[in-house]
Amino acid sequence: MSSVLDREMYSEAEAARLLRVRQPTLHYWLEGGQARGKSYKPILRDKSRGSRTVTWAEFVEAGFLREYRQKHKVPMAELRKFIELLRQEFGVPYPLADRRPFVVSGRRLAYDAQTAAGLGVDFWMVTVADDQLMLTTPADSFSQRVDWVDDTAVGYRPDANLESPVRVKPDVRFGKPSINGVSTEVISEQHDAGEDRDAISEMYALTRADVDWALAYEFSVRAANHAA
């Protein structure tokens, strides 16, 4: 699975579009940068690579930061330290593309790492409720977006709707959003060309519901791009 995680998948611009974050924000997470005369190291990379190509693991881990980006500014120093500690505790280079920090048996290590890093409570992965370690809402939302196999992230749901079957996978359609191996973009193009939904479902051996989900996703992407 490590080869899958290391696979270069997206341009920075395409990864940002799929994650629905600004490209400068994603670049900052990956490469660090400078602000007010001070240099900041990357969050997701151990050091700057000078690359605008995003690996599968980096894409997934950026999805984790995305959940927190919606309401808060991401604190570079503390999050970087937190991820470094997770790497050490779980012995993997991409701890946020690994399921173990999110499951019950791994939450104690994650809790200890976030407190040792001095991470603010708004960015905690794990919290305590009724004497139990629970995932926070953003961490749980991220975990549910990911398809896991043997603790490794092998798919990601770009649609915010939990019921959506749209996935991006490193070994399917070169990581483009798809349903049952059919690109949602292709489905949308057929619809734009005048094909009705039943005809599209028959054309690609999909259910009508699959076609509806694909179009709903593509329409939401267009709306987001228009708003931007």
Per-residue pLDDT of the chain (228 residues; tens, 9 = 90+): 558 999 999 999 999 999 999 999 999 999 998 878 888 899 999 899 999 999 999 999 999 999 987 656 778 889 999 999 999 999 999 999 999 999 999 999 999 999 999 999 989 999 999 999 999 999 999 999 999 999 999 999 999 899 999 999 999 999 999 999 999 999 999 999 999 999 999 999 999 999 999 999 999 998 887 766
Q: Where are the extended beta strands (E) located within the chain? A: 8-11, 33-35, 38-40, 53-55, 126-129, 132-135, 146-149, 152-156, 178-179, 182-183
Buried b (16+ CB within 10 A) or exposed e, 48-61: eeeeeebbbbbbbb
pLDDT at 179: 97
**C-alpha of 208 from chain center:** 27
CA dist 56 and 9 (Å) reads 6
| Residue with tokens 């991820």, as numbered in its chain | 83
Token pair listed for 76: 């570079």
Q: How far apart are CA 164 and CA 158, in angstroms?
A: 9
Write down the pTM of the prediction: 0.93
Interatomic CA distance for residues 14 and 189, integer angstroms: 19
pLDDT for res 73: 72
**What sections of 1-41 are H helices per DSSP?**
2-5, 12-19, 23-31
Give the span between the Cα atoms of 148 and 155, in whole angstroms.
7
Angstrom distances, CA of residue 62 to CA of 74, 80, 177, 214: 11, 12, 17, 23
Structural element, H or E, at residue 220: helix 208-227
Please name which of 89, 92, 109 lies closest in space to residue 57, comparing C-alpha atoms: 92
Rg from Cα positions in the chain: 18
Give the per-residue pLDDT at 218.
95
What is the total residue count of the chain? Answer: 228
Residue 200 and residue 221: Cα distance in Å, rounded? 20
